[in-house]
Amino acid sequence: MGAPIDLSGTHLPVTTPFDATTGDLDVAAFRDNLRRWFEHPVRGILIAGSTGESVFLDDEERRTLVEAAADVVPDDRAVIAGTGAESTRQAIRLTKEAAAAGADAVLVSPPAYYRGAMTPVVLERHFRAIADASPVPVLVYQVPLRLSTIELPAALVGTLSGHPNVVGIKDSRGTVEGVTELVGATRDDFQVLVGSGAVLHPALEVGAAGGIVAVGLMATAEAAEVPIAHAAGDADRASALQARIAPVHQRIVGGMGVPGVKAALDLLGLAGGPLRPPLAAVGEDRIAEIRTILREADLLEGVPA
């Protein structure tokens, strides 16, 4: 089992750049993005999450990304790898491979294809088996409910929090009420991380440890500073930063998904690049809208036009 890990603060669910010609991973662009993001006080990254087009990545690509990140990410920051799978056996294998490649922790989404059969008892058995086998700490992933997934009962998460190797949850439902319920249902040292940049500061105020927020890919300095200001007791600054990044989350991350995020990264001088089919790029009208959103949040200052 993994050693204890502190996941407080802001983490980034990083995108996966692909080569425009071959469609293969663009590892050089991936590393370049990481170097840019880690110029700011983010606490870590999530590889192969929803924003990273995880369902389109093969096993070798997942390993390659973790290995590439381990070369770039500072030693005092965390590399979290998404290792959810429909079968318990495959999730355990992906988890062990991620740990061997350099991941500090793993994020495990619930199996949802046979949704009707995924009772709390079945899900508890699934997550416990993975946590028992994992060489690194495990976080449960409450996937955004707009995707094909299951809503995990707070009581189930509370039970799983009793496992010494289940150290936290990424809750991407986007409600402060949901975070509050999870904080109340889990052990004191269990780390609830919010997945919505629209509620990062309010979630911290009700007991969340931090967040894994895609808005931080675009507003990195601002998203990273929210938990820092909160921890320093500067609620006014945290609130002001939250007000600045919330529309970027709501209109780009929530409103356009991965295609919008990748287009925004291109506008910001990072490597967004193509999506992996069947996902398709946004149109020119959307790109104009994204540019306006970024400009209104003062995120395009200093970026070449």
Domains contained in the chain, CATH given = 9-232 (3.20.20.70)
* Residue 26: per-residue pLDDT: 98
Q: Which residue would you say has higher pLDDT here, 302 or 15?
A: 15
Q: Residues 63, 77, 170, 262: which is the catalytic one?
A: 170
> What mean pLDDT value characterizes the chain?
96
* Residue 70: per-residue pLDDT: 84
Instruction: Identify the CA nearest to 117 among candidates 84, 150, 154.
Output: 150
| Chain position carrying tokens 């390659």 | 64
pLDDT at 302 > cutoff 80: no
Distance in angstroms (rounded) separating the CA atoms of residues 8 and 46: 14
Task: Judge whether 272 and 18 are in contact, CB under 8 Å.
Answer: no
* Residue 149: per-residue pLDDT: 86
Query: Which ranges of the chain does DSSP label H, i.e. alpha helix?
Result: 27-37, 59-72, 88-101, 120-133, 154-160, 176-185, 200-205, 220-231, 235-248, 254-267, 284-296
Confidence of residue 81 (pLDDT cuts 50, 70, 90): very high
State pLDDT tens for residues 105-140.
999 999 999 999 999 999 999 999 999 999 999 999
Each residue of 54-79: b (16+ CB within 10 Å) or e? Answer: bebbeeebbbbbbbbbeebbeeebbb
Distance in angstroms (rounded) separating the CA atoms of residues 146 and 263: 21
| Chain position carrying tokens 């170097």 | 35
DSSP helix, strand, coil percent of the chain (3-state; round to 5)? 50, 10, 40
CA angle centred on 265, ends 262 and 266, rounded to 5°: 90
pLDDT at 305 > cutoff 70: no
Is residue 170 part of the annotated active site? The answer reads yes
Q: How many CB atoms lie within 10 A of CB 183?
A: 19
pTM of the predicted structure, to 2 decimals: 0.96
Q: 251: which DSSP letter? A: I
* Residue 287: per-residue pLDDT: 97
State pLDDT tens for residues 196-210.
999 999 999 999 999
Confidence of residue 84 (pLDDT cuts 50, 70, 90): very high
